[in-house]
Chain A
């Protein structure tokens, strides 16, 4: 087998992932210590760029608002599974970080008077749920694009070091201390060991395991798989958010902001069916509520089209001017992907796998933690996580719209600060372990050498279709058990997978196959977690256990990977005590 070079790099702080969380952390850390970012793609290609609707903060520019209401909305939105100390931190810090972003140059849309434009959004209310409130700070419907580009521009200004198109293969640990990462140079081939004092994973979400998804090709949960393989755990993977309005047939997202501006959903009979499911806020209910409402309607034969498998999102009544000014991006998307001029006709929409609430468990300082029901949480030395790949947990069982852009910036910043402080306080580098990166290098060399009959796509096809069918919006014991078997079988098939491309230069075949291996790793955790959790909460809905069960199930799921690849489940309590305000106790969740 050909010898492949291994190059070693040393940086005090290493950040894996250059989306909103990674870049915000890099900005913060690079001000104090030597920082490097490695990214699978050029930073502005990260999936943060596609976020549309806005970033939530109780600025109160359009109408009075209060961070306590935001905190309540987030706790309730999480179906009471969110950790309330982290949520308080999130909501209290929100106005500060949004204003900071504007100071960096983010071109927010404005209102008369010159302040930042805010729109209504699903689940965000005033006075603890009385009615919808304008809290989402937006830049037309391209908030994610402007956020990512602004952060990247600041990184250019501050000379942050980037290693673009590098793919992380393995976490390097010296006993219980994380000392860096092994990565593959996508463009030229070759292994690179990044030796650091503090490492952050900001690797994004994982809903590419589903057929219908709003996610990019790169959202394959690689950071989660690497964490599992390093003997650490991941949290709450069964909680996947299905966004109500993905374009039918394509999966691309139509922002909730459309409903925030006044658009609404119709069934086959032209009824605004959401008034039955969410009597107070109708179409502006939380996403899981709306998705399930749509799925219910379709189950009862009120879906549109020949197969009755989509609903209609009507917005032409808002007027062409408003649509072109505030929602130009979705006009484009509807036109290109649905062949619809939404200033005249409604858009066909269907629930689409959109966001992963679960991820690498952290505390409110973005430090990765290990804990269980009887063991208090302990930080893992040198390891941090932020963004969609982390689980602080501020989103619990379901995320409110516009809270993700907020989450990434708040915890990215916090993680960056903490890492810089940690790196500065650590005198010497903790040395690399013997045989550092042996697992990762063997994995790649093996794929580059073997021949076999299985190909990546034939396995992935089955995975996505079955995950959607059996572990999607509605789940039962039967479907989940079947899915467990299917994933086991796919893992067996994956052992004989082979790639066509054996070259070192830009080997996309190798990359996608490695990503499939990652997806299979944590798909087991999603299914096992969903099967074990016999209740319905937020994005996890069991037809056979339709109620929320706070007595038995008010806890976070944890998943560990055993040496044979199977999953061992554990649990840990929800952090119910906020930092300074009283707890919001679990209540029945109605909108």
Chain B
């Protein structure tokens, strides 16, 4: 029976869908990042101008979106590789557990950094 991973209750449908959503999202934020950083600032770049942008609520929102997309996309990607090649339940638990720890750590660290700017 196709029951090996039934227990988790997660079929992978949302993961597949959101991987694509976050992929597009990353593309958009990447473009934004590139454009804004290189073309949207008038005159020479100064500490004050960059800080002004980084601490603005609009840019914080963009940064947080980018953070969530990037962490989701990367961690889900790693998880897919683990799904493909690691079949033992014990090792899977350890590796995916590690991924979750990393994901939460990066998310926490990133949020703190952005919010406190």
Check whether chain A touches chain B (CB < 8 angstroms).
no
